[in-house]
Amino acid sequence: MIKGIITPTITVFDEDKNIDFEATEEHIENLIEAGVNGILFLGSIGEFFAMTLAEKKKLISFAVKTVNKRVPVLVGTGGTAAEDVIELSNFAQAEGVDGAAVITPYFFQFNQQTLYNYYSHIAHNVELDLYIYNFPARSGVNIDPQTVYKLASEYKNIVGIKDTMNTISHTRELIQKVKKELEKEFAVYSGFDEYFLPNLLNGGDGLIGGLSNIAPELFAEFYKSYQKKDFKKINEISNKINMMMEIYSLSDPFFPAIKKAVSLRGSNLNAACKEPVGLLNESQSKNIKIILKKVKLI
């Protein structure tokens, strides 16, 4: 089980919107050197929804080779067509990834039985460790803890969940219902950075949060401080994370702001995003810079 901070990494593109593998490698090295506990490729911040299957496969192969087992590698393989999810998950397993994060199917707001059917079908056809990805604000549907418990009980390869909910209550319910009652290990991660500490205090396993792209060393230090019970340092870093949360609100969607913040910290990357998302304006960039200065990151 991966514990601590897993970075859902940005995908770096060049000016022609092709994957910039050189800059991607630089970013991967920065994350690992800073001390993150794992990396998730092709998550929401990774713009999985805007990439072709061929692009995803190229990135997965590159990621596994570049990380080279230094930290666990997870990949987002979710989508609306279950057979595509199965194909990409099996490809990822063959390449050597450690697990696949599968978002709840979107567009139709499926009921719990249909969600169960979806994950059951995938788990039947994939041997790789699977992590349910719950993000109702984007998918339009919330998976119930009872449904998660049923799936995790019946399928040995359903081993965790990323719970991107703007409340700790749902995550706490998952920890109490699923994690504590199952007869196997089951990982529960929060998806919002400000819930890193509440997740751990409630018995969860950590965070898959986007701000760690910007300051991976800060989040790595936070987790180490938690393990050492250094509450003064925990409080200091928590205050910085809370201030950084404003970055998410500076662009809609939020990932251009994350990319811009990474570049402002000196990374050699183009902050371009896949179509139809454009670059940030001068005011947005200025506000991101203000936040980074406030928390002493630049």
The model's pLDDT over 50-96, given as tens digits with 9 standing for 90+, comes to 999 999 999 999 999 999 999 999 999 999 899 999 999 999 999 99
* Position 279 pLDDT exceeds 90: no
**Which of the four pLDDT bands, split at 50, 70 and 90, describes residue 183?**
confident
**Which of the four pLDDT bands, split at 50, 70 and 90, describes residue 202?**
very high
* Position 268 pLDDT exceeds 80: no
The model's pLDDT over 86-95, given as tens digits with 9 standing for 90+, comes to 999 999 999 9
Task: Among 21-25, 143-147, 276-280, name the one with the lowest average pLDDT.
Answer: 276-280
Rounded CA-CA distance 266/24 in Å is 14
Which stretches of the chain are DSSP H helices? 21-34, 53-67, 82-95, 112-125, 136-139, 145-154, 168-174, 196-201, 216-228, 231-244, 255-264, 282-294
Look up 228 and say whether it is catalytic. no
pTM of the model: 0.96
DSSP string, 166-228: SSHHHHHHHIIIIITTSSS--EEEESSGGGHHHHHHTT--EEE-GGGGT-HHHHHHHHHHHHH
Catalytic residue of the set 133, 195, 226, 248: 133
Q: What is the pLDDT of residue 144?
A: 97
Q: What is the pLDDT of residue 50?
A: 95
Angle in degrees, 0-180, between the axes of helices 82-95 and 53-67, rounded to the nearest 10: 30
Rounded CA-CA distance 21/13 in Å is 8
Catalytic residue of the set 116, 118, 162, 226: 162
Query: Is the Cβ–Cβ distance between 155 and 126 less than 8 Å?
Result: no
The identity of residue 28, as a single letter, is: I
Share of the chain above pLDDT 90, in %: 94
Look up 149 and say whether it is catalytic. no
